[in-house]
Amino acid sequence: MTENKETSKGNMHIFDELKAALKTNFQRELFDGALMSLRAVGNPLRLNNFSTAIRELVRDLFDHLAPNEQIKQCSWYVPDPTSATGVTRGHRVSYVIHGGISPAFAQDDLQIDVTSERKRLTEVVNTLSKFTHVTINTFNTPSDDVDKYGADACTALLGVLIAADEARQTLVEAIQEQVEEDVVQAVISETVMSVDEIATHHCIDEVELDLIEVVSIDAKEIQFIAHGSICVELQWGSNSDVRNDMGAIMNENFPLSMKFSSSVASPSEVTAVENSLSVDTSDWYDDYYDEE
């Protein structure tokens, strides 16, 4: 069976980006199967088969990212009487992008046009749904139309996932300064037991944050985690021991992480999760035993 290589080449970047954004191996394998159908130029059912696979991919992806029970707990949720569950694909798109955060905050503060993303994906999936039923009007669709429908579907689905990433990145930017202050304060004010166990004394020289991630946004809460490192001065023995060459001082860097949360009602007002500061000193012990 022949493949449309020009179509594959022209849209390859969209296909690659979408596949990378999918969440499970099943979803990626299902998408590969959908693309095999799309590229099977000699098969008059290529669009029908592709449409069926993409519709199921959207369903599985949204089941994974936007569970009904979470959607129904969102303050913005209004049941749709035309849906057996009250939940529609539009609800799912909104939840995937901004969880329980209000649409107004998503639009105004996160600068995400949720309405457009929701409309575009809904229209594309509705169009593809017509081709899941093989009739004289949907059989053997012209090649140019197949290529357009395929590219439009993948672009729309990728657009929703990109919008979700952008919303989370904007949230991170809004809280970054506060998180940095809280991490430094926690390191200074708390006894870092994992470091304290290594040496007689230690002193924190520097705290650096490398990354803040949104771990999850559900109906009620946003979970963040900050990753970074601390530079510490380790001292064995007293100051007198060090002066008399009976002690030692060295500097070492260790990875750290700390968790934060905020309410969807006030996404930018983060609170440090109690006792969540973690400094990983495992490499210290690995190096120590390797040298023995």
Three-state DSSP class for 50? helix
pLDDT of residue 79: 97
HSE, CB side, 13 Å, CA atoms: give it for residue 18: 27
DSSP 80: -
Per DSSP, helices labelled H in 66-142 are 68-71, 89-98, 103-108, 114-131
Which has the closest alpha carbon to 211: 176, 261, 263, 165?
176
Q: Other C-beta atoms within 10 Å of 133: how many?
A: 11
Q: Distance between CA 203 and CA 233 in Å, rounded?
A: 5
Q: What is the pLDDT of residues 195-237, one digit of tens each?
A: 888 878 888 889 999 999 999 999 999 999 999 999 998 888 8
Q: Distance between CA 246 and CA 241 in Å, rounded?
A: 5
pLDDT of residue 250: 82
Contact status, residue 234 vs residue 202, Cβ threshold 8 Å:
yes
Which residues have a Cβ under 8 Å from the Cβ of 85 and sit 6 or more positions away?
68
Structure tokens at 269: 């007002």
Q: What is the pLDDT of residues 119-178, one digit of tens each?
A: 999 999 999 999 999 999 999 999 999 999 999 999 999 999 999 999 999 999 999 999
Q: Where are the domains of the chain?
A: 5-169, 171-291
* Residue whose token pair is 């952008």: 166
DSSP 3: B
Q: What is the pLDDT of residues 29-81, one digit of tens each?
A: 999 999 999 999 999 999 999 999 999 999 999 999 999 999 999 999 999 99
Distances (CA, A) of 269 to 108, 257, 265, 290: 17, 19, 9, 45
Measured in whole angstroms, the distance separating CA 27 from the mean position of its chain's CA atoms is 16
